[in-house]
Amino acid sequence: MNILIVDDEALARSRLRTLLGDCQDTVRTTVAEAANTGEALAQLTPTGGRAFDLLLLDIHMPGQDGLCLAHAVQALPHPPAVVFVTAHADHAVSAFELDAVDYLTKPVRRERLLQALTKAQRSHRRGAPAVATGAHSAASAADGETLVIQDRGRTERLPLAEVLYFKAEQKYVTVRTATRSYIMDGSLSELEAKFAPRFLRIHRNALVARRAVRALEKHYDPDEGEGWAVRLQGLTELLMVSRRQVAAVREELAG
């Protein structure tokens, strides 16, 4: 894997080189460096140099920052994957909107760097997705939608296609997949408005993935008494359905 490290701090570039060397037993890499956006573009443009598979990209740099560079490389015929490496966690959402593979916060640990390299390899094998221009179908846009989850100091991009339900829990929203749960800020109303074609409101506190709905069952809940619950593919737990939403769930199953 050909990697270009872009960071205005020489010490930070040296640190990443060392970590990449520590990963060589798992991911073989060749490494080049650039101290700013101009140097990076000179190495990335077809007239200037070599093909890179991955950018390890700082965000805060003099002149044009890393977000500007990430936007610029999207116009290249064969853009490299991008992993942001920064001391600031507050740009994660902007980074993932630029289709970054991962977002690492300094100081970087070998294990997290190795995870990012593995993601970049998978992305490279699949091939870079085509950049959508003009109108495109809602289905094709939905296939690539992701959520940005910040959990215990780690920022992760979660494919929306993996989410089985959203459930309001006091000040937060639980995001459930088949394998684990995440916590995120936000409201169900915002999520419902954004993802209505893919998620169904079943209760004041829950949205479920339409594709995952498998059954509507009679169920007794200690808090709500006798009622109805929905069963989702891949989960053993049942989710209560409010009386006013029972008809909507039945319609979903019938469709």
Task: Supply the pLDDT for residue 16.
Answer: 96
Q: Are 230 and 208 in contact (CB under 8 A)?
A: yes
Q: Which domains does the chain have, with CATH numbers?
A: 2-126 (3.40.50.2300), 162-254 (2.40.50.1020)
Is the dihedral angle over the CA atoms 107, 109, 115, 118 positive or is it negative?
A: positive
Task: Supply the pLDDT for residue 47.
Answer: 56
Rg (CA), the chain: 22
Task: Supply the pLDDT for residue 217.
Answer: 93
DSSP element (H, E) containing 121:
helix 110-126
The pTM (predicted TM-score) of the whole model is: 0.52
Which residues of the chain have a pLDDT value below 70? 46-50, 89-98, 124-144, 151-153, 255
Task: Supply the pLDDT for residue 140.
Answer: 35
The model's pLDDT over 134-184, given as tens digits with 9 standing for 90+, comes to 333 333 334 457 888 876 667 788 888 899 999 998 788 999 998 889 888
In this structure, the strands spanning 146-151 and 206-209 are unpaired
Task: Supply the pLDDT for residue 128.
Answer: 43
Say if residue 59 is exposed, middle or buried (CB neighbours under 10 Å; 0-12, 13-18, 19+): buried
Task: Supply the pLDDT for residue 136.
Answer: 33
Task: Supply the pLDDT for residue 143.
Answer: 46
* Residue partners of 151: CB distance under 8 A and separation at least 6: 182, 183
Quick one: which of 188, 109, 69 has its CA closest to 52? 69
Task: Supply the pLDDT for residue 213.
Answer: 94
Quick one: which of 172, 198, 169, 174 has its CA closest to 185? 172
* Residue partners of 180: CB distance under 8 A and separation at least 6: none
Task: Supply the pLDDT for residue 95.
Answer: 59
Helix axes 66-73, 37-44, angle to 10 degrees: 20
Task: Supply the pLDDT for residue 103.
Answer: 84
Q: How many CA atoms lie within 13 A of 231 on its CB side?
A: 9
Quick one: which of 65, 68, 11, 7 has its CA closest to 32? 7
